[in-house]
Amino acid sequence: MTCAKTIVILTVSLMCIHCSSDDDAGPNFPGSTENEVSLLFNGVDGHGTAGDISSTLGNPVDVFTISIWFRAMGAPAADATMLHLNPEFETGRNSMQVRLYWSSPTQVAFHVTPDFEGDPGATLTAAVAEPQEWNNLMLTFDARAASGNVAMYLNGDPVDSGDQSTTLTAVGNIVFARAGADANFFHGYLDEVAFWDSRLGSEEIKAVYNEGKPKNVRFDIPGYESANSVKSLWRMGDENFTGEENVSDLVGGNHFTIVGGGTFEPETP
Ligand SMILES: [Ca+2]
């Protein structure tokens, strides 16, 4: 094959990849494919189990941002948990824990510790005025920061921060809508959950919140240029390719299985 032919073939291949990407993004490119469904958990036994934390965030974990959209059905029960990393205490209770849960019917709490048994870590809270409407939380952790290593943003605004600079040893898996073994189930909707292996700044967090209309964070948008550091993205039924029993991770391949009462619903922020 001549050099010229090789270049032509390569060029055509690259053009096809580009076309395919644009098609996938839909008519509102950049930054959006339609968000048409979310995942409703029944609060009785419904939850989702993804794979190892390390397959999304690497190991050790020294920096992340998490975005999660949620809407409670009824008053959230105390300790109802929306997201839990290492809920099974793999390697024992002196191992990492990251948990986002309801500490009261109108307050969410975010706990990060490298050692559940021996280190209180940081627990941040946010008052949620309307739990039964759609809300967005963004959670950041950066062990390298001098202070304020853990921070919490509600609907685009900073609400709390704390100091917890110890790197986490990634053990255990990522679970949605449940804590521990069959306890503290969350009754409500979760949508558009994303993990980055970087800390997003306040302007980027506002851009992702987008005044209450989630953007597809696989694509950069004005004010947000961190698409390349998204490691997992679960759109809760949109762009799903793993079937009705599962939620596809569109970036990292860390798909999760729906266990018990969890259904895709046409209800989105
Ligand atoms: Ca969705």
For the record, the structure tokens of 228 come out as: 């390349």
CA of 129 to the centre of ligand 1 (A): 23
CATH of 33-265, one of 3.30.499.10, 1.10.150.50, 2.60.40.10, 2.60.120.200: 2.60.120.200
- Whole-structure pTM value: 0.88
**pLDDT confidence of residue 184:** 97
**pLDDT confidence of residue 82:** 98
CA of 266 to the centre of ligand 1 (A): 9
**pLDDT confidence of residue 46:** 98
Q: Which amino acid, 57?
A: L
CA of 45 to the centre of ligand 1 (A): 21
Q: Lowest mean pLDDT of 20-24, 38-42, 178-182, 184-188, name the range.
A: 20-24
What DSSP letter does each residue of 164-181 carry, written as one string? --PPBP--SEEEES-BTT
Tens-digit pLDDT profile for residues 125-156:
999 999 999 999 999 999 999 999 999 999 99
Q: Which amino acid, 85?
A: L
CA of 239 to the centre of ligand 1 (A): 8
CA of 31 to the centre of ligand 1 (A): 14
Q: Give the H/E segment covering residue 97.
A: strand 97-104
CA of 233 to the centre of ligand 1 (A): 10
Mean pLDDT of the 102-121 span: 97
For the record, the structure tokens of 181 come out as: 């073994």
**pLDDT confidence of residue 145:** 96
Mean pLDDT of the 105-122 span: 97
For the record, the structure tokens of 7 come out as: 């270049």
3-state secondary structure at position 12: helix
CA of 268 to the centre of ligand 1 (A): 7
Residue 238, pLDDT > 50, answer yes
My answer on whether omega of the bond before 222 falls inside 30° of 0, hence cis, is no
CA of 177 to the centre of ligand 1 (A): 16
**CB distance 124 to 150 below 8 Å:** yes
CA of 100 to the centre of ligand 1 (A): 19
CA of 237 to the centre of ligand 1 (A): 6
Neighbouring C-beta atoms of residue 106, cutoff 10 Å: 15
**pLDDT confidence of residue 181:** 82
Tens-digit pLDDT profile for residues 13-54:
444 343 334 344 444 444 457 899 999 999 999 999 999 999
Mean pLDDT of the 100-123 span: 97
Please, which residues bridge with residue 112 across strands? 98, 122
**pLDDT confidence of residue 18:** 39
Mean pLDDT of the 171-186 span: 94
For the record, the structure tokens of 176 come out as: 């949605």
Nearest Cα residue to 225 out of 243, 200, 244, 245: 200
